[in-house]
């Protein structure tokens, strides 16, 4: 049984470094954070009690869920529109759509948030232009509020919604659409009653990815919210670095992980992981 033994040894030796690295550098410190949530500032369940009673924490949770819901609906709808062209357009249309999806996807979140600041701020492109043509006299408040956060997050998350949608649209059998058309269904009706229902798994996958991502989003809300529209992730940051209350920051993190874990479990009951890429 030489080869059986050496196989097991080989596998163990090859897989051990990464597993060891992640146990030491990720799993162990995560349990450290969990420990913080139960011991700082005083041992007990005080931090979790505070989560349920603190008005600020409550309002941040509700705002985060509200923003995540709006962003999910808007970005999945927008992604759907451009994915249809990316997957089913003519060659030129496909190239243009691909360019518009992949270029923002590869550009850093900071640059993209900054681009929105340049467009939406009081002295930004949109306000300058609207004032120049005399449409408004005072600049519109487009940024440093929930509107700016939703715009920036939607922009960030559209490409992530595109991939599961594209995978669902590519696996769709054209003959079904031709059959619907052949039986006298209009273009609109074919789209809404055949095409969309058949890409349901892609829609569910895209919505889940966008929703989960928005829950833990930090950079875009922090820049475009300007400290006024704080979401969960920024609240954790503030609890760790500004009003040192590590226990509360840790407790929020633990709740966030459990919530996201539950959502993912729900997702994988409906969609196979392969359909998401």
Partner 1 sequence: MPTYRPGPASLVIAAFVALFLLLPLLAVIPVSLTPSRMLAMPSGELSLRHYRSLVEDPRWLQSILLSIRIGIVSSAFSTVLALCFSLGVWMFQPRFTAALVGFVLLPMVVPPVVSAITLYFLLTSISGFSSFFGYDTWLGVAMAHSVMTVPFATVLMLVSLSQLDRRIDLAARGLGASVWERATRIIMPNIKFGIITAALLSFVLSWEEIGVTLFITSVNAITLPRLMWMGLRDNIDPAIAALSVILIIITVLVLAVRSVVVRQRGAQ
Question: What part of residues 38-77 is at the interface with partner 1 (CB under 8 A)?
Answer: none
Judged by CB under 8 A, the chain residues 119 through 138 that form the site for partner 1 are 119, 121, 123-125, 128
**Whole-number minimum distance, CB 107 to partner 1, in Å?**
5
- How far is 111 from 130, CA to CA, in rounded Å? 24
146, 60 Cβ separation under 8 angstroms: no
162, 94 Cβ separation under 8 angstroms: no
**Whole-number minimum distance, CB 154 to partner 1, in Å?**
8
**Whole-number minimum distance, CB 140 to partner 1, in Å?**
15
No. of helices (H) and no. of strands (E), the chain: 15, 0
Judged by CB under 8 A, the chain residues 251 through 270 that form the site for partner 1 are 253, 256-257, 260, 264
3-class SS of residue 139: coil
Chosen residue from 57, 67, 68, 82 binding partner 1 by CB under 8 A: 82
Judged by CB under 8 A, the chain residues 147 through 186 that form the site for partner 1 are 155, 158-159, 174, 177-178, 181
Residue 225 DSSP one-character state:
S
- The residue (of 18 and 183) whose beta carbon lies closer to partner 1 is 18
**Whole-number minimum distance, CB 113 to partner 1, in Å?**
7
- The residue (of 45 and 125) whose beta carbon lies closer to partner 1 is 125
Which of these segments, 7-15, 46-54, 64-72, 200-208, binds partner 1 (CB under 8 A)?
7-15
DSSP string, 152-209: HHHHHHHHHHHHHHHHHHHTS-HHHHHHHHHTT--HHHHIIIIIHHHTHHHHHHHHHH
Judged by CB under 8 A, the chain residues 8 through 27 that form the site for partner 1 are 8, 10-15, 17-19, 21-22, 25-27
Residue 45 makes CB contacts below 8 A (sequence gap 6+) with 38
**Whole-number minimum distance, CB 86 to partner 1, in Å?**
8
16, 230 Cβ separation under 8 angstroms: no
- The residue (of 43 and 227) whose beta carbon lies closer to partner 1 is 227
The two tokens of residue 76 are 């999945």
- How far is 215 from 254, CA to CA, in rounded Å? 13
Judged by CB under 8 A, the chain residues 94 through 113 that form the site for partner 1 are 96-97, 99-104, 106-113
Chosen residue from 33, 65, 70, 73 binding partner 1 by CB under 8 A: 33
Judged by CB under 8 A, the chain residues 181 through 240 that form the site for partner 1 are 181, 187-188, 191, 195, 212, 215-216, 218-219, 222-223, 232-233, 236-237, 240
Residue 40: closest CA among 235, 236, 245, 243: 245
Number of residues that bind partner 1 (CB under 8 A): 92
- The residue (of 48 and 112) whose beta carbon lies closer to partner 1 is 112
The pair phi, psi for residue 52, each rounded to 5°, is -85, -20
């Amino acid at each position: 049984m030489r080869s059986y033994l050496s196989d097991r040894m080989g596998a163990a030796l090859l897989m051990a470094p990464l597993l060891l690295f992640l146990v030491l550098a990720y799993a162990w410190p995560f349990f450290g954070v969990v420990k913080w949530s139960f011991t700082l500032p005083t041992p007990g369940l005080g931090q979790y009690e505070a989560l349920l009673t603190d008005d600020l924490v409550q309002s941040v949770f509700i705002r985060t869920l509200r923003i995540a819901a709006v962003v999910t609906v808007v970005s999945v709808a927008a992604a759907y529109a451009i994915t249809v062209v990316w997957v089913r357009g003519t060659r030129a249309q496909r190239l243009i759509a691909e360019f518009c999806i992949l270029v923002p996807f590869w550009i850093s979140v900071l640059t993209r948030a900054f681009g929105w600041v340049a467009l939406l701020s009081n002295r930004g492109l949109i306000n300058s232009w609207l004032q120049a043509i005399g449409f408004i006299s005072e600049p519109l408040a487009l940024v440093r509020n929930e509107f700016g956060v939703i715009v920036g997050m939607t922009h960030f998350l559209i490409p992530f919604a595109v991939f599961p949608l594209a995978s669902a649209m590519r696996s769709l059998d054209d003959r079904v659409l031709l059959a619907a058309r052949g039986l006298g269904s209009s273009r609109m009706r074919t789209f809404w009653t055949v095409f969309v229902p058949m890409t349901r798994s892609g829609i569910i996958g895209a919505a889940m990815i966008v929703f989960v991502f928005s829950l833990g989003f930090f950079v875009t809300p922090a820049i475009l919210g300007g400290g006024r529209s704080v979401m969960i992730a920024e609240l954790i940051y503030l609890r760790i670095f500004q009003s040192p209350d590590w226990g509360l920051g840790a407790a929020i993190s633990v709740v966030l992980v459990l919530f996201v874990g539950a959502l993912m479990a729900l997702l994988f009951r409906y969609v196979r992981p392969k359909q998401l890429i």
